[in-house]
Each structure stands twice: as structure tokens, then as C-alpha cells.
Amino acid sequence: MTDTSRRAFLQGTAVAAVTLAPGLTLIATAADARPAGEAASPKQRWGLLIDTTKCPAECTACIDSCKEEMGLPDHGRPATDAQYIRKVSVKDPASGKTVSLPVMCQHCAKPACVDVCPTGASMKRADGIVLVDRHICIGCRFCMMACPYKARSFIHEDQTGQKIANPRGKGCVEGCTLCAHRVDAGEMPACTEACQNRGKGAMVFGDLNDPASEIAVRVATEATTRIRADLKLDPAVRYQGI
Amino acid sequence: MNRLRLAVIGFVVLATAILAGHGAMAGDGRPALPQAKGSVCVEDTQVMRRNHMDLLKHQRNDTLRQGVRGGKHSLAECVSCHATDGADGKPVPVTAEGQFCQSCHSFAAVSIDCFSCHATVPADPARTAIR
């Protein structure tokens, strides 16, 4: 995905949003880029809303775009290869209904990974994005054990050809950053963009704290669920249709 | 006497060959660094020489932990300015022999950990802007 087409897409959605429904954003347009020198603010809480009824089991647009954006290589060893998103199929044994849902870091408000980290590497940014500070990560993998969503990966081998936006190397734990580099630049995460462009538009990204945003409107008016809500970690990723 | 002369000539030839092959030494014994693409660095050369690691460390914490973007002491910007293009037109990693970062750290006998994770070549301008 080139920068030009991304920009063209965003401009296109902005126009569509204005013409379709003034005052109500139908398609999630990315917020403005945060000015240089300004820190992330707790006024925002970035989140995702995923409608699983629009998520076919065979579609991997989000996973493919994530690997491309973040520079995740495929060593052909799915058990240990880094994965920031994975598709999980769940089946209701009573009815036989099967649902496929993409699961990534849920960017919890009370992240278990941050609680258990012995060095402070696992951290939550002011705007709710949960990250690993790999400068001080010692690779102990406590966070991987603590995370109920299996969202993090450990890097077992030397890496080359990393993307500038996602420095990554051997001996550290890493996971979905909610594309913090894109969010800071006023864009939506790569998975959401791919889902809207190449998938069925199941994913919506936005600011849960902004009552006018599409995600906040839908969360307030439609039925949404959070996986393992019983753990009360307050994830920022919500699902529909499960 | 002839044998001694031969040995001396041999030594000189060998030493010249090694120095020429190495190619990373300027006349005064300091490493010869490739020319940067930009005309002026973000700080004075003396400040950068002594403090670049602290400037980078300070900004990395601000950027990662607080999300502050657009600071001037960015490692990506160092790489984008100091990486040179090889004969094939592709950028040479700054950690390659004789390149900017490597030659000076090698001279100072300091190992750099930055590039076990960070990209060693600038962003491909056709693909994406640096952030």
C-alpha cells in the first residue's frame, strides 16, 4: 500500500462522510495528526470495533497488511513466528454456529502484561495504546504468560530488514502497537485500512472517548462484546456478532 | 644484506596493501567517514561526536513512552542522511564496513546495539514517508 493511495483513500472517505451524513461520521476517518512535539493525551482512547458477521473465515487481509506494515517475516514456523493478529474460529457447540474473529492486542485499560513486567518495558501510553519498550525488555516473557489474549510474540532469532516504523530484534517480546506510528500521523491502523479496502469493512478504528466518532456512536447504540470480559481488563477492542 | 633488503621491501609492500585495502583511515589516523547527504547536522559536530548517544536516548524515551513525534534527534533521520548509495544504486547499511556509523564505532572500539533492531537503510521513498 503506497502512501499516495492511502491518502487518496482517506480523502475519498472524508468526502463520502460529508455528503452522506453531515454531523454523523459513517466511515471512520482518521483523526488529525498530532502536532510535532506534543505527547499522547489521555483525552483520547483509541479502540477498534470488529463486526464478525462481516469477517469471513478465509479472509486474511488484516493479517497480511499487518505483516507488511510491521515487517514481520514468515519463517514457516507458525508456532513461534511473530504474529500481531491471528484469526480465531469459535463454534457454539449447541447451535453449531461458527464465527471467525481477528484477535490482536486488546489494548486493555488495566493490562495484565503491564502489571507483571519486572522492568517497566510493558507499558500503556496515555492514549491507551499498550506497547513494549524493547529498549528495556529483558525477554522474560512474563507478559506473554499473563496476557489472556495470547497477543504477544517472542523473537527467537536475529532479524534483518526491519521497517523504520517498527524496530524489532532478537530476545524481546513484541505485539500489536495499534499502529501507533500511523495513529500519531492521523491515520488508521494498517489492518483496519486493509479490511475496509480489501476485506468486507468489518473493522472500525476510532477514539472511544469522542462521543461523535463512529466507534463511540456504535458502541453506545449497538450491542458489542469484549472477549473475556469477565477478567475486567477493560479492553479497547470490541466485537459484534459473537 | 640482500635478504634484509627484500624483507624490508616486502614489509613496506604488505603494510601499504593492508592500509590501502582497509581504506577507512584518513591521513591523521582517524577514520575517513563518508560524506553525509545533508549540508548541516542537527547539532554542532563536536556536540554530536560527544553526545549523540544521549540525545538519541532522550528522544527515544519521549517518542516511545509519551508518543512525542517530530523531534530532531531521530535515529531514522541519522540513517537517512548518513547512508550512502552503493554501486548498484541501493543504499548501503550504515553498519557495513567503512560506512558512517560502523567506521567510527570500530575506531573507538564501541559496539552499537541500535541496529540489531533499527533499520540500517533509509526508507524507500517510493513506499512510505519516515515517521
Please, what are the domains in chain A? 39-240 (3.30.70.20)
Q: How far is CA A181 from CA A6, A190, B117, B131, in A?
A: 14, 10, 16, 7
Per-residue pLDDT for A29 more than 80?
A: no
Whether chain A has a CB inside 8 Å of the CB on B67: the answer is yes
Is pTM, for the whole model, over 0.95? no
A34 Cα to chain B: minimum distance (Å)? 8
- Per-residue pLDDT band for A21 (boundaries 50, 70, 90) equals very low
Closest CA to B32 of B74, B89, B84: B84
Per-residue pLDDT for A95 more than 60?
A: yes
Task: List b or e across A83-101, with b for residues whose CB sees 16 or more CB atoms inside 10 angstroms.
Answer: bbbbbeeeeeeeeeeebbb
Q: Which residue has the cell 502489571?
A: A115
Kindly state the cell numbers that stand for B19: 592500509
Q: Which residue of A has its CA nearest to B130?
A: A164
Whether chain A has a CB inside 8 Å of the CB on B7: the answer is no
Closest CA to A189 of A25, A31, A17: A31
Please report the pLDDT score of residue B9 as a whole number.
Answer: 64
**Angle at which helices A3-20 and A190-197 cross, to 10°:** 70
- Tell if the CB–CB gap between B131 and A165 is shorter than 8 Å: yes
A47 close to A96: Cβ distance less than 8 angstroms: no
Out of A14-23, A70-79, A144-153, B3-12, give the one with best mean pLDDT: A144-153
- Per-residue pLDDT band for A78 (boundaries 50, 70, 90) equals confident
Per-residue pLDDT for A30 more than 70?
A: no
Per-residue pLDDT for A44 more than 70?
A: yes
Cβ neighbours of residue B68 closer than 8 Å, sequence gap 6 or more: A37, A38, A39, B62
Please report the pLDDT score of residue A117 as a whole number.
Answer: 98
- Per-residue pLDDT band for A25 (boundaries 50, 70, 90) equals very low
> Which residues 178-217 on chain A approach chain B with CB closer than 8 angstroms?
180-182, 184-185
- Tell if the CB–CB gap between A164 and B130 is shorter than 8 Å: yes
Which residue in the set B65, B70, B123 is minimally distant from A164, CB to CB? Answer: B123
- Share the mean pLDDT of chain A: 90
Please report the pLDDT score of residue B129 as a whole number.
Answer: 41
Whether chain B has a CB inside 8 Å of the CB on A220: the answer is no
- Tell if the CB–CB gap between A162 and B66 is shorter than 8 Å: no
> Which residues 91-120 on chain B approach chain A with CB closer than 8 angstroms?
116-119
Please report the pLDDT score of residue B28 as a whole number.
Answer: 77
pLDDT of chain B, 131 residues: tens digit per residue? 567 676 666 555 555 555 444 445 556 788 888 989 888 999 999 999 999 999 999 999 999 999 999 999 999 999 999 999 999 989 999 999 999 999 999 999 999 999 999 999 998 765 544 33
A168 Cα to chain B: minimum distance (Å)? 4
Q: Read off φ and ψ for residue A88, nearest 5 degrees.
A: -115, 130
CA B105, B106, B109, B114 torsion-angle sign: positive
Per-residue pLDDT for A133 more than 80?
A: yes
In whole angstroms, what is the distance from residue A187 CA to residue A181 CA? Answer: 9
- Per-residue pLDDT band for A52 (boundaries 50, 70, 90) equals very high
Examine the predicted complex and report whether its ipTM is higher than 0.90: no
Please report the pLDDT score of residue A28 as a whole number.
Answer: 44
Please report the pLDDT score of residue B124 as a whole number.
Answer: 76
A192 close to A200: Cβ distance less than 8 angstroms: no
Q: How far is CA B42 from CA A39, A92, B52, B84, B93, in A?
A: 22, 59, 10, 18, 21
- Per-residue pLDDT band for A19 (boundaries 50, 70, 90) equals very low
Kindly state the cell numbers that stand for B48: 554530536
- Percentage of residues in chain A having pLDDT higher than 70: 87
* Residue A25 or residue A186, greater confidence: A186
